[in-house]
Structure 1
């Protein structure tokens, strides 16, 4: 679409029976200083009264405006005549589409959503299916681009990822959460600043940052590229502001399209290392009346303005976290709001430290016992590699372009059977003396209490249950006197010892140079016996998995 066609934006445009600001396609626009709802209501007043017979015309004037139609519904196409535009619907490419430009139906829907939100303890937010998939990817949960997971399954996975990033189930195992049951944080009682307590990271990230510094970069991650990395910076900024005596924050994008007003009411400690920030929050957007938000900024925030720049995607993730936590907050907990009354519509929630998702949770989030595309019961496998399972031909075809590199990587591979052990010889000697423990954690996680695993050495440990049946699964092989082997979910965590299987050990060690720093490799494996794996040693996956 030629850029010059839109250089001279119109003050307003007519699309169907409605009028919108010409720059953004909004009924109400703070930036254009326009409100076209009165004009538009005249066109649909009879339908509004049928849907809401008890409403007055004044109430309809306060209905949620229809916003950003150029981004969501309308496609602007230049005519051959210079300066004239054609407004078609994006779905059908139809001029004056009666289905897509049914503004009355959209207005009625928005009013119902507004009424529902007023009775809710959370702030309404619209995150599309595509946005959820991308946010999950940012958190390390890679779903197939061709995924056909049902909406409810995708939503469950998204909420589970949010919980996992906060270690929610470990910190608050039995919601609802009553903050009054944990001790308050203060500079007098806690020697560490809130900023340090909120900070979370992993060994992988530490190595990436060190490498970036060696290359002269400020950080391994550019700002405003990954909402999940950005939101952790925002959390630390909110904590740092609190350390400096500032309790209010305005989280806003560069274009000032939307903002989240946040006031930290108090901070409490769930344990010695984990603070919880109790917050009041509300969202404001360019396409909604901003009088209360502006007054809050002027009266409550005051000067200097503590503004945090955040993309629209990061704001949506932050609201998703706040909303999820608000639903788990005890109804008996209340806070004192600002005397001006400007916080009466603010929602109450809490923020836990956000960090990398630990390996155990990542395994649960990425594991699927059904069709790799839609999650339904499987009926067939890829006939070439036998590694991927599908519900039918349609999903298999949809997934082929993505699966092809993995499938090709397994063709003609050398499958070597190895015999594994539950303990190394040294561990067995210590177990015989009743000494020693094995402690494990992963470089995707920090060494926090919920990420550490510890068990005593045992003389005769039980072999792990085979949860993979005959299906191939990815394993990590980690170099050492004995090679540590485990899958993403840690359903299997065993050792390949030269004393037990010298041939398998030597063949595996000969492949180590192909992995990261010669220390670890990822390979496909099948469970072939109680203490045996068949491993495709000479064919690595197309890319290393994140765990």
Structure 2
């Protein structure tokens, strides 16, 4: 019978044939003062040499480490067998699972990734598919946790979301980017502190914060729970540090698992409200050799006056921040360079820049979430939910995968009454203004930057063309918003992308208007409701009026 007891002094654990530090499950660990790669390589040297015949033994010994195996399919509680602490795999509960503990394959993939990124100007970072989905959801994208989007489609969506939250295409439309052409920020020339000009928000967030403060909370979002909200706080802290003369910082999690060492080299201004923070950065971690970062802390950070500060950030936030930095680093002009510390400790640091980060505006959000295919994988649809007839799928497998998430929506739509509405592109008042060659001011709810962008003036056409049907036969969420003036004001109807923005007028469709007005009391302040709709004609829309979605979308 195996001995299940073990002493607290045991500091090694086996998963298959590989040994790791018991506390963290790492081959290399700065905290446990160990490097087990030499021991483990004996087990897989034949596979490594076959995969990399040109590599010397010393190069293979210095391969990237396999780390935090407890988070990657290894049971945390070991058993003592034959004098050693051994762990099972979580999936099969097998001690020497050849599937889950194929460390040779893992090591080979890590070496390939390292070789691919050897000459890169960015810091290598491993972001899993699940983490990308979580990051996108933290940014407000209504992405199903069960999504089966192909890896390349998910990666593209992630990159586009990073650009959108920085308003990158608007601010820097021409690449490569050379910050040296921009004016330098300084306390003397800038009217507002950097902390203020890096801050971004929108009306929805301001309202949520107001509601939270009325309940005695400081903010509507708790720190260290939403990576996207946290990264925005970090950038504001960097701005505040620069205002106070501190240009170096360590961004680190509470458990000292990983950190980003950073120095703000320069601050330039794209315009009076948009700074560009030029940074040098390097990642340090408990599971990898940290000679570069340790020397930097000793020779650069600790010698600066005033001393550099620390910013607490979860490992997830750090990954998102590195993804932003890496994306921006690739956009820099190859001719652009900065002066590094004379000690040479910043030689391995990557060069990038940070823009203010804010909520993704409505049009970009629509483009990121819009698709006309299967709600799970985006492929061509072949069937739909037989109960609500709203959600469409490529087949039974995706429908089953989406079943639990779809159930609340399905229940809310089942038995709903679909009403056909006739819409117009202009209200009667707008036609009158257009006939006189005028223009009108529209509330730009897509803005996330300074308040001066809230009003948007547009010239009016008497009879503009109806919008194209980008949703095909698929149902889509619409917002129906009623005007505040008395009488029978027109109702604005639009989708998340704002590619569909029309008006429901009493003069054109009194029946549809009346039935829609009767539902307004179910929405926020009696002024707006969200409903499922289908395009049924050039100027016609079928709307499930008496069934609201399970929750209002972030819109």
Q: Find out whether 1:477 has 2:485 as its counterpart.
A: no
| Structure 2: distance between partners of 1:79 and 1:287 | 24
Displacement, 1:308? Answer: 0.3
**Bigger shift: 333-342 or 224-233?**
333-342
Query: Which of residues 315, 322, 329 is equivalent to 1:312?
Result: 315
**Bigger shift: 86-95 or 233-242?**
86-95
Displacement, 1:277? Answer: 1.1
The TM-score normalised by the length of structure 1 is: 0.93
Q: Tell me which residue corresponds to 1:268.
A: 268
Displacement, 1:58? Answer: 4.1
Q: Find out whether 1:34 has 2:42 as its counterpart.
A: no
Q: Find out whether 1:113 has 2:113 as its counterpart.
A: yes
Q: Find out whether 1:279 has 2:279 as its counterpart.
A: yes
Gaps of 5+ in 2: 484-488
Q: What SS class does the counterpart of residue 279 from structure 2 fall into? A: strand
Q: Find out whether 1:372 has 2:375 as its counterpart.
A: yes
Q: Find out whether 1:204 has 2:204 as its counterpart.
A: yes
Q: Find out whether 1:226 has 2:229 as its counterpart.
A: no
Q: What CA deviation, in whole Å up to 9, does each residue of 1:394-453 have, x standing for no partner?
A: 222222222222222222222222222222222222222222323232278446688865
Q: What CA deviation, in whole Å up to 9, does each residue of 1:466-498 have, x standing for no partner?
A: 222333221101111221111111122112222
| Structure 2: distance between partners of 1:182 and 1:315 | 28
Pairs aligned (count): 543
For the 8 Å contact 1:167–1:450, the answer to whether it is kept is: no
Alpha-carbon distance change, 100 to 410 in structure 1, aligned in 2, over 3 angstroms: closer
Alpha-carbon distance change, 181 to 483 in structure 1, aligned in 2, over 3 angstroms: same
Q: What CA deviation, in whole Å up to 9, does each residue of 1:341-369 have, x standing for no partner?
A: 11111111111111000110111111112
Q: Tell me which residue corresponds to 1:492.
A: 500
Q: Tell me which residue corresponds to 1:515.
A: 523
The TM-score normalised by the length of structure 2 is: 0.92
**Bigger shift: 230-239 or 243-252?**
243-252
What aligned pairs does 1:10-409 form with structure 2 within 5 A after superposition? 10-77=10-77, 79=79, 86-302=86-302, 304-409=307-412
Displacement, 1:170? Answer: 1.1
Alpha-carbon distance change, 54 to 525 in structure 1, aligned in 2, over 3 angstroms: closer
Displacement, 1:539? Answer: 0.9
For the 8 Å contact 1:251–1:307, the answer to whether it is kept is: yes
For the 8 Å contact 1:254–1:310, the answer to whether it is kept is: yes
| Runs of 4+ displaced beyond 6 Å | 4-7, 448-452
**Cα RMSD for the two superposed structures:** 2.4
Q: Find out whether 1:416 has 2:419 as its counterpart.
A: yes
| Structure 2: distance between partners of 1:9 and 1:106 | 29
Q: What SS class does the counterpart of residue 117 from structure 2 fall into? A: helix
Q: What CA deviation, in whole Å up to 9, does each residue of 1:28-73 have, x standing for no partner?
A: 1111122223333444445544544554444444332222222224
| Structure 2: distance between partners of 1:205 and 1:521 | 19
| Structure 2: distance between partners of 1:436 and 1:444 | 20
Q: What SS class does the counterpart of residue 162 from structure 1 fall into? A: helix
For the 8 Å contact 1:76–1:86, the answer to whether it is kept is: no
Gaps of 5+ in 1: none
**Bigger shift: 150-159 or 227-236?**
150-159
For the 8 Å contact 2:251–2:311, the answer to whether it is kept is: yes
